[in-house]
């Protein structure tokens, strides 16, 4: 069977992608951000996963207010980097995994999660920036990627509890797939940030530190946090962090924390990153 061996959370600030693409990652401003991912790059190069199940949100690139799927699973053979207004990022096309993705769609839907199947989808900074942070600038991404786009842009997003339980269903689905694939699940977005309105630039380091602790040790408690608490404590876009609970639900209750990194600021955002391994199964 295929197996999920580890989880990665990462912010997906678009300015990080621009810093890489414009060769600015060595600048004094950016160097500390990339330094926090050095260990992560080594970790994933050593682990050599076959597949990344990548939970992210689309920022009105592939979808618009015309169609708003709560959970959209990318089943295509490839996903092109989206043009977000200044041309697509100069990163490789993302290779999908239709056989596994369709299997997961079937398993989730028959498990009573109403997933939207997507066969055509460009992927924006929400997906490509975490790949860049973890893999650098390869000519081709060294893994296949199954994207899961979650609506956290237009109210109402899914609850933390729904996300956590979806993570558990994703794990069941992966473990029913007949292959030897080693899967790492990414939960992206966050940490505290608000991009608009009178509180634009809002960052809450105490909340972020507590969230990083609780995503490791108290995901069930965290899954009960109401949306309004994310908005109040982590800013309006901080609600992206419900996606981390999908990643966490797909792992064991008791996990090993491999790496943690937190940095303020990147653009007007806090960057948070954590790597968790299942204690059994992550053996290389
Ligand atoms: C920004 C955009 C994002 O989607 C995000 O998650 C964090 C920051 C930005 O525009 O700075
Ligand atoms: Fe975002």
Helix, strand, coil shares of the chain, percent, nearest 5, are 35, 25, 40
Q: Tens-of-pLDDT digits for all 284 residues of the chain? A: 999 999 999 999 999 999 999 999 999 999 999 999 999 999 999 999 999 999 999 999 999 999 999 999 999 999 999 999 999 999 999 999 999 999 999 999 999 999 999 999 999 999 999 999 999 999 999 999 999 999 999 999 999 999 999 999 999 999 999 999 999 999 999 999 999 999 999 999 999 999 999 999 999 999 999 999 999 999 999 999 999 999 999 999 999 999 999 999 999 899 999 999 998 765 44
The two structure tokens encoding residue 89: 């990022």
Note if 259 is an active site residue.
no
How far apart CA 206 and CA 225 sit, in angstroms, is 16
Classified as helix, coil or strand, 273 is: strand
Residue at 248 is within a domain: yes
Site of tokens 């940030």:
193
By residue count, the chain amounts to: 284
Q: Which domain does 66 fall in, by range?
A: 3-278
Q: What confidence score (pLDDT) does residue 177 get?
A: 98
- pTM > 0.85: yes
Q: What confidence score (pLDDT) does residue 281 get?
A: 62
The two structure tokens encoding residue 215: 């995503």
Residue at 82 is within a domain: yes
Residue at 119 is within a domain: yes
Long-range contacts of 15-20 (CB under 8 A, 24+ apart): 15/266, 15/267, 16/129, 16/132, 16/133, 16/266, 16/267, 16/271, 17/89, 17/91, 17/125, 17/128, 17/129, 17/132, 20/132, 20/137
Sheet of 255-266: strands edge to edge?
116-118, 71-74, 144-150, 51-56, 182-188, 3-10, 269-278, 255-266
Residue at 283 is within a domain: no
Q: What confidence score (pLDDT) does residue 280 get?
A: 76
Residue 13, ligand 1, Cβ within 6 A: yes
For residue 59, the ligand 1 atom closest to its alpha carbon is: 4
How far apart CA 193 and CA 241 sit, in angstroms, is 10
Report the C-alpha dihedral over residues 162, 201, 203, 276, rounded to 10 degrees. 50
Residue 195, ligand 1, Cβ within 6 A: yes
Residue 15, ligand 1, Cβ within 6 A: yes
Residue at 267 is within a domain: yes
Return the closest-CA partner of residue 62 out of 1, 140, 122: 122
Residue at 284 is within a domain: no
Residue at 35 is within a domain: yes
Nearest CA to ligand 1 atom 3: 13
Measured from the alpha carbon of residue 194, the closest ligand is 1
Structural domain count of the chain: 1
How many whole angstroms from 13 Cα to the centroid of ligand 2? 6
For residue 15, the ligand 1 atom closest to its alpha carbon is: 11
Residue at 131 is within a domain: yes
Q: What is the CATH number of the domain that holds 210?
A: 3.40.830.10
How many whole angstroms from 11 Cα to the centroid of ligand 1? 8
């Amino acid at each position: 069977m295929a197996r999920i061996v580890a989880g990665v959370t990462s912010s997906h600030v678009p300015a990080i992608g621009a810093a890489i693409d414009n060769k600015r990652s060595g600048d004094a401003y950016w160097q500390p951000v990339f330094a926090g991912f050095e260990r992560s790059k080594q970790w994933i190069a050593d682990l050599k996963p076959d597949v990344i199940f990548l939970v992210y949100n689309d920022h009105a690139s592939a979808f618009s207010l015309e169609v708003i799927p709560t959970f959209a699973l990318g089943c295509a053979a490839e996903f092109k980097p989206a043009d977000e207004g200044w041309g697509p990022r100069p990163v490789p096309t993302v290779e999908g995994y239709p056989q596994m993705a369709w299997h997961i769609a079937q398993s989730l839907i028959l498990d009573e999660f109403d997933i939207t199947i997507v066969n055509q989808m460009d992927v924006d900074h929400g997906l490509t920036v975490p790949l860049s942070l973890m893999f650098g600038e390869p000519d081709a991404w060294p893994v296949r990627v199954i994207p899961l786009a979650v609506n956290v842009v237009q109210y109402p997003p899914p609850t933390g509890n729904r996300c956590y339980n979806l993570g558990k269903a994703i794990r069941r689905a992966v473990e029913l797939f007949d292959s030897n694939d080693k899967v790492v699940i990414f939960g992206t977005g966050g940490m505290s940030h608000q991009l608009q309105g009178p509180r634009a630039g809002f960052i809450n380091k105490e909340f972020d530190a507590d969230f990083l602790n609780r995503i490791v040790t108290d995901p069930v408690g965290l899954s009960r946090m109401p949306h309004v608490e994310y908005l109040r404590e982590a800013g309006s876009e901080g609600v992206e962090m419900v996606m981390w609970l999908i990643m966490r639900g797909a792992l064991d209750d008791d996990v090993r924390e491999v790496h943690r990194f937190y940095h303020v600021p990147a653009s007007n955002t806090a960057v948070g990153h954590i790597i968790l391994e299942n204690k059994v199964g992550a053996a290389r």
